[in-house]
Each structure stands twice: as structure tokens, then as C-alpha cells.
């Protein structure tokens, strides 16, 4: 009898150990300090990530890393340093094409007016075709890079028709103010900052060209092993999105430090974004079109099957519509 009881207790202990191993003890987030990802900062500040994770019986350490753009986030994922990342559609697809073992689990936000090709206010450039032979800067591999190519196409041009310059957003701001470049493809909040300064005017934004979708990616390994925690994080993100919609002024005060922007400016920027993270069938079709475009234009070398790369079931299972 004692032996039977011992075996039962051992089995229970083993079951508990297996169950506990289903939860990550540390969850690593790669973010960018921009308003496109404001709901995750709201969720962090409100402790909603902790709350939702506690509901699935876990209390992991949350580790935050901040990056200037999507491409360096890809590098961090390639080095095995992240579990979740927030980036534009283009760098997400580039990372997957390069062999990074991730999947798209939700949108972060979208807004066709949140990214644009801009020129100095007094520039003689009036249409996309006027960019021919001009110095045009962009963060290579960013979702603004994709917009730039679309805008050039609108003018009957390709990147071979311009002097393509790869710069960080910070360097773009300096270069366009100093007049060392003729145009740039940028995103928020730099777009609004430069407009407020009177330094630039919009040549073309994403309207009719690009939805401006940004995505949440996660490693396949994390999602497979920790599906409940993944859904808890998505629920916390949705709570952050709902809070911004209902309380924009309060949300702006809450995350101003996370994005290094004045609350008044943040309130204006919030209005440009739709923060619903639900990943719908039409979003996957849009992503598939982006992938085809990127493959055809040599931005990626290896095909990415968007229908397996994106997993809409996670937002559905999280009750997000």
C-alpha cells in the first residue's frame, strides 16, 4: 500500500512539474518607443500583462528591450534574445524569409496616414515622378521602405531611378532639415514632428497604397509551448487598445515616457491609429500581397507562406474581434 501511495504521489509531483514547465518564467518583449505600439505600454503601466498572465496561473518576469526600428529587432530574434516583437509588416516578412522562426499572431495597429514620403516644405518636387534622380532616404527593410517603392511605382519609377540612401529615422530628420537629402519615407511620430516644425510636407502617404499595418510577432517555440500565456498577452494588449480609445488623454499621460512624446502630441497621434489587434482574413490577404511584391522586387529572396506565417486563431481564441 505504501508503495502504491508513493507511486501516486510521484505521479502527481511529475504532473505538477510538467504543468509548471508549460509556463515561461521569463517573457522577453522587443518594442520600439513609438505610438504605433501604445497599447502594450498601457498594458505594461497598468499591470494588465501581470493580471492576465496571473489568470492562467503564472507570474513570469517581463523583460523589455527597445529598438529604433524593425530590422534590429529581427537581429535580436535571430540571436534568440526575444519572445515577442512589435514591428511593421515588411520587416516581419523579411525576418521570416531570412529563416527566423517566428509567426505573426496579431496586428498592433494600422493607419494609412501614419507613414508617408515627405519632401522639404519649399521643395519643387510635386509628384512621385519628380523623385527621379533625387536623394531619397529610408530605413532599409522598414515598412516605409515598402511605401517608398509603391510611391515610386505610382510615378512610373523604381528605386534604380533614385539615389537610395539607407538612414535611421533620427538621421533622416537631421538630413532633411539640413537639405542634404531631397525626400524621405518616414513614419510616426517623426512625420508629425517634422510637420509641426514646418520642415516637411507630405508628397504621398499610404492612402490607397498601403494600410500601414504593424504586427505582433512571436517565436514559434514560445507559442507552441506557452499558448495560454500568449493569449493572455494578447488580451492585455486589447485592454490597452480599448483604454486608449475610451481615455486618450489619460492614456497619453500614462505612456508619454515610454514613447518620449508630450501627452498633447500623443493625443493627436492616437487619432491616426486603429489599435484593434484582431487578425482578420483580409489582413492576411494584404500581407500576402506585400510578400508577393517584396519577392518580385528582390526585397526578399525566399518565399514566405503568409497563410502559415500568420495565425489568426490566437486573436479569435482570445475573444478579440
Residues 231 and 88 in one domain: yes
Q: For residues 190 and 271, state if they share a domain.
A: no
User: Can you tell me the mean pLDDT for 31-42?
Assistant: 96
> Phi/psi at 258 (nearest 5 deg)?
-65, -30
Rounded average pLDDT over 291-311: 92
What pLDDT is recorded for position 15? 40
Do 219 and 294 reside in the same domain of the chain? yes
**Any domain includes 228:** yes
Domain boundary among 205, 225, 248: 205
Whether the predicted pLDDT of 215 surpasses 80? yes
Last residue of a domain, one of 187, 205, 223: 205
Q: Give the integer Cα–Cα distance in Å for 177 and 248.
A: 31
Query: Which of the 8 DSSP states describes residue 73?
Result: H
Same domain, 251 and 104: yes
Examine the pLDDT at 157 and tell me if it is beyond 90: yes
One domain, residues 123 and 258: no
The answer to whether residues 71 and 94 touch, using CB atoms and an 8 Å cutoff, is yes
* Same domain flag for 187 and 200: yes
Q: Are residues 312 and 216 in the same domain?
A: yes
15 located within any domain: no
Predicted local confidence at residue 22, as pLDDT: 67
Domain limit, last residue, from 181, 205, 229? 205
**Number of structural domains, the chain?**
2
Tell me the per-residue pLDDT of 54-102, one tens digit each, with 9 for 90 and over: 999 999 999 999 998 899 999 999 999 999 999 999 999 999 999 999 9
Grade residue 298 by pLDDT with cuts at 50, 70 and 90.
Answer: confident
Residue 4, pLDDT above cutoff 90: no
pLDDT at 199 over 90: yes
pLDDT higher at 299 or 163: 163
Percent over 90 (pLDDT), the chain: 87
Average pLDDT over residues 282-310: 92
Asked if the structure places residue 6 within a domain, the reply is no
pLDDT for res 54: 97
148 shares a domain with 261: no
269 within a domain of the structure (yes/no): yes
177 occurs within a structural domain? yes
Question: Does residue 244 lie in a domain region?
Answer: yes
Average per-residue pLDDT for the chain = 92
- In this prediction, residue 293 has a pLDDT band, given cuts at 50, 70 and 90, of confident
* Contacts for 235 with CB less than 8 Å, ≥ 6 apart: 52, 318, 319, 320
Q: How far apart are CA 93 and CA 104, in angstroms?
A: 9
Say whether pLDDT at 223 is over 80. Answer: yes
Could you tell me if 91 and 231 lie in one domain?
yes
Residues 183 and 54 reside in one and the same domain: no
The reply to whether 11 falls in a domain is: no
Q: Residue range 195-209: average pLDDT?
A: 96
Containing domain of residue 277, as a range? 25-110+212-317
Whether residue 41 is found in the same domain as residue 120: no
**What's the pTM?**
0.86
Compute φ and ψ for 210, nearest 5 degrees. -150, 130
Is 90 exceeded by the pLDDT of residue 250? yes
* pLDDT score, position 209: 94
The CATH code of the domain that includes 230 is 3.40.190.10
Residue 99: φ, ψ to 5°: 105, 5
- Residue 20 resides in a domain: no
Place of cell 505573426: 104
Q: Report, as an integer, the average pLDDT of 258-269.
A: 94
Shared domain for 46 and 64, answered yes or no, is yes
Amino acid at each position: 500500500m505504501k508503495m502504491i501511495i508513493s507511486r501516486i504521489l510521484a505521479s502527481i509531483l511529475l504532473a505538477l512539474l510538467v504543468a509548471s514547465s508549460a509556463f515561461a518564467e521569463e517573457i522577453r518583449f522587443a518594442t520600439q518607443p513609438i505610438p504605433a505600439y501604445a497599447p502594450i505600454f498601457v498594458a505594461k503601466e497598468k499591470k494588465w500583462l501581470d493580471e492576465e498572465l496571473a489568470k492562467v496561473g503564472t507570474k513570469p518576469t517581463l523583460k523589455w528591450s527597445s529598438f529604433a526600428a524593425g530590422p534590429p529587432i529581427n537581429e535580436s530574434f535571430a540571436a534568440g534574445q526575444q519572445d515577442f516583437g512589435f514591428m511593421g509588416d515588411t520587416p516581419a516578412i523579411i525576418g521570416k524569409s531570412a529563416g527566423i522562426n517566428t509567426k505573426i499572431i496579431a496586428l498592433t495597429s494600422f493607419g494609412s496616414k501614419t507613414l508617408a514620403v515627405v519632401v522639404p516644405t519649399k521643395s519643387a518636387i510635386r509628384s512621385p515622378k519628380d523623385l527621379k534622380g533625387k536623394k531619397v532616404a529610408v530605413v532599409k527593410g522598414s515598412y516605409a521602405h515598402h511605401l517608398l517603392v509603391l510611391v515610386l511605382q505610382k510615378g512610373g519609377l523604381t528605386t534604380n531611378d533614385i539615389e537610395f540612401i539607407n538612414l535611421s529615422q533620427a538621421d533622416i530628420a537631421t538630413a532633411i532639415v539640413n537639405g542634404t537629402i531631397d525626400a524621405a519615407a518616414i513614419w510616426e511620430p517623426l512625420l508629425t514632428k517634422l510637420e509641426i516644425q514646418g520642415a516637411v510636407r507630405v508628397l504621398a502617404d499610404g492612402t490607397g497604397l498601403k494600410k500601414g499595418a504593424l504586427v505582433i510577432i512571436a517565436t514559434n517555440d514560445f507559442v507552441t509551448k506557452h499558448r495560454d500565456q500568449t493569449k493572455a498577452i494578447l488580451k492585455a494588449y486589447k485592454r490597452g487598445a480599448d483604454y486608449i480609445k475610451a481615455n486618450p488623454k489619460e492614456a497619453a499621460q500614462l505612456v508619454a515616457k515610454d514613447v518620449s512624446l508630450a501627452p498633447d502630441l500623443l493625443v493627436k497621434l492616437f487619432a491616426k491609429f486603429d489599435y484593434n489587434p484582431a487578425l482578420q482574413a483580409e489582413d492576411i490577404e494584404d500581407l500576402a500581397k506585400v510578400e508577393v511584391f517584396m519577392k518580385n522586387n528582390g526585397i526578399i529572396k525566399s518565399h514566405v507562406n503568409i497563410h502559415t506565417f500568420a495565425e489568426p486563431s490566437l486573436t479569435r481564441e482570445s475573444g478579440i474581434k
